[in-house]
Structure 1
């Protein structure tokens, strides 16, 4: 039985590693929207068999990052500008809820992490950081807030939406305006959380996301 448990654990680890790798390839448009997903290539890059790759693709299909066409194969999902509007429409109230709950529930360790991330924003922008590290830092802050909300359903849902939203950012990165003012807004979100002001955290989180969305759609 112990051997079977070890094999199952190893299989789950391989599937998770495959999922993270393929997800990141799609989110950062390393696999461009509409492109076929080459299972054989992914198997070689990951050093795994077909099963972990296919399990990962099933998860990514549920998360709308890949689209499966019978008898044609699996493709990175297309991106439409309307996707950003629809995502923002559902993300705004949930992001606000996560920030509110983080303000009320964050542990001491999570609060220290958020404080460090706030300092990272100041350092990156003062150093003239390119768009890419700013986008990645913004995403890291969102994930830290989701964890600090201590609601696994909220965290799971928002992480899925964040991945979809980041993919749009990466797809349009060369055409986006300077987003550093919007990333700076995250310091206000973090400050409200650290002050345990749930109402203010909710408002600033919602304003941050709406501001980013407006900038993206204004430069379509």
Structure 2
């Protein structure tokens, strides 16, 4: 499982945090399929940790709507309900432009270096060719780097949660999406605007990107 470059690694993270991030991204990328049962023992074994960190991680994931627990039935990966798309998009259309603008205003030298490195990854999309899985991981990486650059933990947490839910919908329809690489490459100008410190342009590009995502999914349906 790949780690997202913008997040801390290794000993900096508690076992529960590491378990949470790995299980979260397996759910987001549909490696754990919607509706699949969640087995604490199997997860603990695959992660090389005890059941307690896994249990703590699952509590967070239930709050984030990635897993669901039913009395007497057990815990399952949340189904991907396409009717949620409008609700998720409503939140993202309001907050993604805000996050992009705040990142343009507040990004530190370290943030800009991280975003520039991600920009270079984007530039290699055409030349190297990427499969769908790689493209979606790159998309997650871009979004999480932008959210981190806002230096607003409440905004960051909210947008990470909603971007995770949007990515699950994207994964469900990935085979039908016409220009997935183009959608990911749209982040290039957005990153440039943030690094250049242009909040108005960053907000405009972020809004256009979210609207394009919803339109692409509805066309794929």
Higher-helix-fraction structure: 1
Q: Runs of 4+ in structure 1 displaced over 4 angstroms?
A: none
RMSD: 1.6
- Write the deviation string for residues 141-194 of structure 1: whole angstroms up to 9, x where unpaired: 111111111111111111111111112222222222221222221111112112
Trace 1:3-18 onto structure 2 (pairs within 5 A).
Answer: 13-18=14-19
Deviates more, 1:155-164 or 1:172-181: 172-181
Trace 1:185-204 onto structure 2 (pairs within 5 A).
Answer: 185-204=186-205
Trace 1:79-158 onto structure 2 (pairs within 5 A).
Answer: 79-158=80-159
SS of the aligned residue for 1:75 comes to strand
Q: Runs of 5+ in structure 1 lacking a partner?
A: 1-9
Deviates more, 1:173-182 or 1:151-160: 173-182
Q: Report whether the alignment pairs 1:60 with 2:61.
A: yes
TM-score under structure 1 length normalisation: 0.89
Is 2:44–2:54's contact at 8 Å kept on the other side of the alignment? yes
Q: What is the distance in 2 between the residues matched to 1:134 and 1:28?
A: 11
SS of the aligned residue for 2:100 comes to helix
| Count of residues in correspondence between the two structures | 210
Q: What is the distance in 2 between the residues matched to 1:139 and 1:169?
A: 11
| 2:6 paired residue number | none
TM-score under structure 2 length normalisation: 0.89
Q: Runs of 5+ in structure 2 lacking a partner?
A: 1-10
- Write the deviation string for residues 90-144 of structure 1: whole angstroms up to 9, x where unpaired: 1112110010001111011211221222222111223222222222112111111
SS of the aligned residue for 1:18 comes to helix
SS of the aligned residue for 1:35 comes to coil
Greater C-alpha radius of gyration: 1
SS of the aligned residue for 2:14 comes to helix
